[in-house]
Amino acid sequence: MSQTSDNEKLIQQLLQERDEMYCELSRLRQTDDGYVEALKAQNEELEAKINKQNELLRKNEELINKKEEQLNKLTDQLAWYRRRFWKASSERFIPSDPNQRKIDFDGLDVLPQEEEMIKEADKELQAYKRKQPQKTKKKPVRLPLPEELRREDEVIEPEGINDNWVRIGEEVTEVLEHKPGELYVRRIIRPKYTVKQTSQEQEESAIQIAALPLLPLPRSNAGASLLAELLINKYQHHLPFYRQISMLKQTGVSLPASTINGWFQGSCDLLRALYLRLQELVKESDYIQVDESTVPVVNSEKHKTVKAYLWMVRSVMKPLVYFHYDKGSRAQKVVVELLQGFQGAIQTDGYEAYSIYEQKKGVLLLGCWAHARRKLEESLAEDKAGAEYALAQIGKLYQVETMASEQELDNKQRAELRKRLAYPIMVAFEKWIVKYYPKALPKSRMGRALSYTYNIFHRLSRYHLDGRYKIDNNLAENAIRPLALGRKNYLFCGNHDAAENASVIYSLLGCCKAADVNPREWLTDVLTKIPVYNNDYSLDLADLLPHNWKNS
């Protein structure tokens, strides 16, 4: 009985301890769950703060990178403007090639035979430079005034002269004076005649009068010389029509703007056939230079000016140049239509639109060293050592051209000189670009200049194949410069038609400049003669182009 009682007590004690342990475990579980929830909440709050800080840091980094990029861009622009305004500008600094230039596949180091050729080229250039006499600065000398100018004598006698004085000579001082341009009226008088006695059969032909000569613009009182003056003043001297109207008003002649614009449109229509004949002659040549430039044109829908483009094509061997306007587009399709059917060498800058001619049969694409030189010159402030070395190599190439010009070498001799001196320099320069490029930041001016130069290096080096080819496109840029001056004065073209008319006049005046022809004399004579050519298709309009007109 006592043993049973002890067992029951033990069981009761164990059950009680079990209940106590269960209660303690429940209490502990509740405590742990709260602690875990607190930890989770704390962790979530901490992660949110960290994420917020990371997002803030990322935005700050983006802002810093953007500011640094903007600062570098502004620094480059400031350096460019300082060079542009405070320093003198200097531009000194289709056969297969049997010695096709290529990089050595065993490495980028200059080969021993190439090293020898480069040393010989440098030695010859230095020797030629030392032989050249030092140029002394000439003192300015006042040139005599042209003899064909009209002289008006003004005699000033000294005071106190009487019969006791004998004249022994005189001193003459010539002063150049000016009078405003003169407008005059050309009266075409055609006398009318009739016979004294006529029969009825003769009455119809009894009156005789000379035929009126063909005038540039029918039903207009504008003569050829006035039309030429208006066009030359605007497109060569860059005077807008409204300024010319004001100048004419000072001479006593008031002309409305609508009349002047009508004369301009009529003159362009009259000269358009000559312009189209000029295009044909340029495309018939086998070596041209192409460039494009902007011209502001008023967009009637947007009620503001937009940037449009004029394309320029220049024949290098003949003094011919023409401008082309295709609704202001700079797209590749424009140059394809513009040069359709052309066979020969095309020299351009690095604009990607011209790359379509790289693989075209019968066309050789040439580059422009002047563009590469300018881009490297702009990087002097960033990487002086690298830029100076690159500019020195390009300077040697130009020195070879100077050497050929001073020795008056023909095209064949010039090509041989380039092969002997310029070719080794270009081979070493290309290898230097490949080795040096990883040292430059891709988005820096130096990186962009090296990338530009290397991407078109095959075009840049081809000029040595033929002595006729130029080292750069500067002749084309000289032809396009009047357009840049003009847009700073008359500011914009009123519409696409006005821009197309401007391309006609720019083309013909550009030919006058290339052929060294007085544009006023040429345009006056051509406006007088071209109505006859337009009415007689047996005559060739090419005879009126400045170079042929000059020879005739």
d(CA 298, CA 301): 9
**Vertex 477: Cα angle to 460 and 515 (nearest 5):** 115
| The predicted structure's pLDDT at residue 93 | 36
d(CA 211, CA 200): 24
CB of 378 within 8 A of CB of 452?
Answer: no
Which tokens sit at 254? Answer: 């008031």
| The predicted structure's pLDDT at residue 231 | 92
Which contacts (CB < 8 Å, 24+ apart) does range 80-83 have?
Answer: 80/378, 83/377, 83/378
| The predicted structure's pLDDT at residue 81 | 57
d(CA 201, CA 116): 99
> Which DSSP state fits 255?
-
| The predicted structure's pLDDT at residue 504 | 92
Query: Look-up: residue for tokens 């861009």?
Result: 73
Closest CA to 369 of 118, 91, 88, 101: 91
| The predicted structure's pLDDT at residue 105 | 38
Render 300-352 in DSSP notation, one character per residue. TTTTEEEEEEEEEEEETTTTEEEEEESTT---HHHHHHHTTT--EEEE--S-G
Q: Which residues does residue 493 pair with via DSSP β-bridges, in sequence order? A: 297
| The predicted structure's pLDDT at residue 87 | 46
3-state SS, residue 289: strand
d(CA 513, CA 152): 33
| The predicted structure's pLDDT at residue 199 | 59
Q: How many CB atoms sit inside 10 A of residue 319's CB?
A: 19
| The predicted structure's pLDDT at residue 270 | 92
| The predicted structure's pLDDT at residue 266 | 92
d(CA 123, CA 308): 49
Query: Look-up: residue for tokens 């000559």?
Result: 274
Q: How many CB atoms sit inside 10 A of residue 278's CB?
A: 26
CB of 311 within 8 A of CB of 290?
Answer: yes
Q: Which residues does residue 287 pair with via DSSP β-bridges, in sequence order? A: 345
| The predicted structure's pLDDT at residue 545 | 92
Q: How many CB atoms sit inside 10 A of residue 164's CB?
A: 5
Along the chain (552 residues), what's the average pLDDT of each consecutive run of 10 residues?
69 80 76 68 78 86 84 71 48 44 48 69 72 68 79 84 83 75 81 72 68 83 89 87 87 87 92 93 91 80 76 89 86 87 89 85 90 90 88 91 90 91 89 87 87 90 90 81 66 77 91 91 92 86 90 83
Closest CA to 176 of 146, 211, 208, 203: 146
Check the CA dihedral 37-43-47-48 and report its sign. positive
Name the strands in the sheet holding 344-347, side by side, starting at the edge strand that comes first in the sequence. 320-325, 304-315, 287-299, 344-347, 363-366
d(CA 151, CA 420): 58
Query: What is the C-alpha radius of gyration for the chain, rounded to an integer number of angstroms?
Result: 41
